[in-house]
Amino acid sequence: MSNESTQTPATPLPYGMPISLHQARLVMQAAEEEATRHHWPMVIAIVDSAGHLVMLHRMDQAQHGSIRLAQQKAETAINFRRSSKAFQDLLASAGEGLRVLSMEGVSAVEGGELLMSEGKIIGAIGVSGMLPVEDTQVAQAGVEAVVLVQ
Amino acid sequence: MSNESTQTPATPLPYGMPISLHQARLVMQAAEEEATRHHWPMVIAIVDSAGHLVMLHRMDQAQHGSIRLAQQKAETAINFRRSSKAFQDLLASAGEGLRVLSMEGVSAVEGGELLMSEGKIIGAIGVSGMLPVEDTQVAQAGVEAVVLVQ
Amino acid sequence: MSNESTQTPATPLPYGMPISLHQARLVMQAAEEEATRHHWPMVIAIVDSAGHLVMLHRMDQAQHGSIRLAQQKAETAINFRRSSKAFQDLLASAGEGLRVLSMEGVSAVEGGELLMSEGKIIGAIGVSGMLPVEDTQVAQAGVEAVVLVQ
Amino acid sequence: MSNESTQTPATPLPYGMPISLHQARLVMQAAEEEATRHHWPMVIAIVDSAGHLVMLHRMDQAQHGSIRLAQQKAETAINFRRSSKAFQDLLASAGEGLRVLSMEGVSAVEGGELLMSEGKIIGAIGVSGMLPVEDTQVAQAGVEAVVLVQ
């Protein structure tokens, strides 16, 4: 069951228009607020539906490695139309799942989530800096903000 | 038995002449028809016997990550004279099989297959976009088309 | 005057929807016919409005280096919304124009042209394999084909 | 005189504390306002005194190539403690100035400026998307904003 969720769905989600700077601001604001509330020094990156970077904010004292990792998580989500957690789960299942490690550019660390609008992918958010589950929590705050825009 | 298939055979398959554009068209057409029949948005790449890209088609709404991955699968097949599935199986066996992950550029994801003509390798096809087993199915359609050319 | 054409226009051309596989086929066919008519062994690459590779064909006996160069020309055109010839001209003017050589990924070789539809950029075509002016001639055949689609 | 400005000064400017997210916001806001006033679709990047990316905003319809170029300009400024225009001038002087092209990662395109506070370098801003002189104009708006913070 969890295995299914880590594979390409029968009907892939369609790519839509690229997220606008205005929409990205709302997503970023919600994610930053969630991080700030917990005093988590994080890097938050937003890419558009083509995978191009639209916005990146690094909070004071965020670890250097998170600058690249936040982008990699967002790129993984947009490039394969699923959360980076899907790859984390697949990898954790071992066996054939280990093949994830041979896929160039894929981050198998949770914290990368798709940004959807009207059933289409408009971008993705990637968060890095704390525990993976906390990264996801902040990313999720961003995901929910883009829903409210519509 | 499955272990044997993942290792270099005693008598390696010989590299032959590079696949021609004409032959590549027939391979691509067969693979595209198989993908279209199932409404699978895929990327299909064909490299010649030297590993150079000869043809690449990306279907509408194929995931971005498959552009690189389809090429990587074809390159893996041609560079090591075996299907990329051989590396997937080897990796899944764990233990020493994990060494696959240390091999630069190798994709251990099925969907990369050799294109043979008169007992020689003329190229390879790599397919990405859906479930690995479906990627192989489309690649196989291409493999069979090149056989018919002869 | 020629200097102006090599700089970002006051009102940049807008990026539109990505070129479809169907449209790319028509562009490729026209470009290939032009190359074949002259017996020019070339590589022809088409990227979409985001810069992602949609189609690549390498003709028999095209030089290996052209596989990457054709893509680089198309990427240059789409990434900077102008033909790669604009950078070639700017570079040839020397002085400050030399800065082109410091721009990562830019190909200052003609043969990369934008594909426009209804006033918007839907992709770009890059051609490599013969004299730069001949590369442009083949690219132009592709450019005109996409106009006819509309 | 212009030659002096392109060389390392006798007493190099000292690196100071990294720019804070709060300060970066003020710099970004001023730069964005300048760009928006002119309807210029740009990418604006801010790095800290160590060269790490702190903030990046891409305006709608900015050219794709500017995402990397804006960062490259900021990195050039911070890595060599001078504006990227210093390298552009040096390169334009030809002769020995051509050596700029052999320096890895250096962008010899104006639009990258240092952000100073109390006589120390706290970061740099890089802008790309329009004419180089316009890129500088927007970067300068950001430079002046950080001065006001103090």
pLDDT for C56-77, tens place per residue? 999 999 999 999 999 999 999 9
Touching subunits for chain B (3+ Cβ pairs under 8 A): A, C
- The residue ranges of chain A whose pLDDT is under 70 are 1-10, 147-150
- A contacts of B43 (beta carbons < 8 Å): none
| Type and span of the H or E element at A31 | helix A21-37
**8 Å CB contact of A8 and B69:** no
Q: Is the pLDDT of residue D103 over 70?
A: yes
ipTM reported for the complex, 2 dp: 0.93
**8 Å CB contact of C52 and A52:** no
Least Cα distance to D125 among D137, D135, D110, D115 occurs for D115
Nearest-by-Cβ selection for C99 from D68, D91, D94: D91
Averaged pLDDT, C97-107 = 94
Nearest-by-Cβ selection for A58 from D21, D58, D60: D21
Helical H segments across B18-64, by residue range:
21-37
The pTM for the full model equals: 0.93
How far is it, in rounded angstroms, from Cα D13 to Cα D123?
12
Residues in chain A whose Cβ is within 8 Å of chain D: 20-21, 52-60, 64, 67
What pLDDT, in 10s, does the model give residues B102-132? 999 999 999 999 999 999 999 999 999 999 9
What pLDDT, in 10s, does the model give residues D108-139? 999 999 999 999 999 999 999 999 999 999 99
What beta strand segments (E) does chain A contain?
Answer: 43-48, 53-58, 112-117, 120-128
Q: Which residues contact C87 (CB under 8 A, 6 or more apart)?
A: C6, C76, C80, C100, C106, C107, C108
- C contacts of B54 (beta carbons < 8 Å): 57-58
**8 Å CB contact of B21 and C59:** yes
N residues, chain B: 150
What beta strand segments (E) does chain D contain?
Answer: 43-48, 53-58, 112-117, 120-128
C114 - beta bridge partners? C124
How far is it, in rounded angstroms, from Cα A76 to Cα A136?
14
Cα-flanking dihedrals φ and ψ of residue C122, to 5°?
Answer: -110, -10
Nearest-by-Cβ selection for B61 from A12, A99, A103: A12
Nearest-by-Cβ selection for D67 from A52, A58, A64: A52
What pLDDT, in 10s, does the model give residues B2-38? 444 555 667 899 999 999 999 999 999 999 999 999 9
Which residue in chain A has the smallest CA separation from D67? Answer: A53
- The DSSP annotation for A6-30 comes to TS--SSPPPB-SPPPHHHHHHHHHH
Q: What is the CA radius of gyration of chain C?
A: 14
| Type and span of the H or E element at B86 | helix B84-92
B and A in touch (3+ CB pairs within 8 angstroms)? yes
The SS3 call for residue C105 is coil
What pLDDT, in 10s, does the model give residues D77-88? 999 999 999 999
Per-residue model confidence (pLDDT) at position C9: 54
Interface test with A, best of B2, B61, B63 (most A CBs within 10 A): B63
Least Cα distance to C50 among C75, C86, C73, C27 occurs for C75
Residue C145 CB burial class (10 angstroms; 0-12, 13-18, ≥19): buried
- B contacts of C67 (beta carbons < 8 Å): 52-53
CA distances from B77 to A48, A62, B45, D10 (A): 33, 41, 12, 57
DSSP label at D110? S
Q: How far is C13 from chain B (nearest CA, A)?
A: 23
Please give the structure tokens belonging to residue A65: 């490695």
Per-residue model confidence (pLDDT) at position B4: 44
Nearest-by-Cβ selection for D56 from A20, A55, A60: A55
How far is it, in rounded angstroms, from Cα C35 to Cα C136?
11
Per-residue model confidence (pLDDT) at position D146: 85
How far is it, in rounded angstroms, from Cα C3 to Cα B30?
48
Touching subunits for chain A (3+ Cβ pairs under 8 A): B, C, D
Q: Is the pLDDT of residue B90 over 50?
A: yes
Q: How far is C109 from chain B (nearest CA, A)?
A: 21
B and D in touch (3+ CB pairs within 8 angstroms)? no
| Type and span of the H or E element at A32 | helix A21-37
Q: How far is D149 from chain C (nearest CA, A)?
A: 32
- C contacts of A19 (beta carbons < 8 Å): none
Helical H segments across C10-131, by residue range:
21-37, 65-80, 84-92
Band (pLDDT 50/70/90 cuts) for residue D40 is: very high
The SS3 call for residue D38 is coil
- C contacts of A51 (beta carbons < 8 Å): 50
Band (pLDDT 50/70/90 cuts) for residue C148 is: low
Per-residue model confidence (pLDDT) at position B20: 96
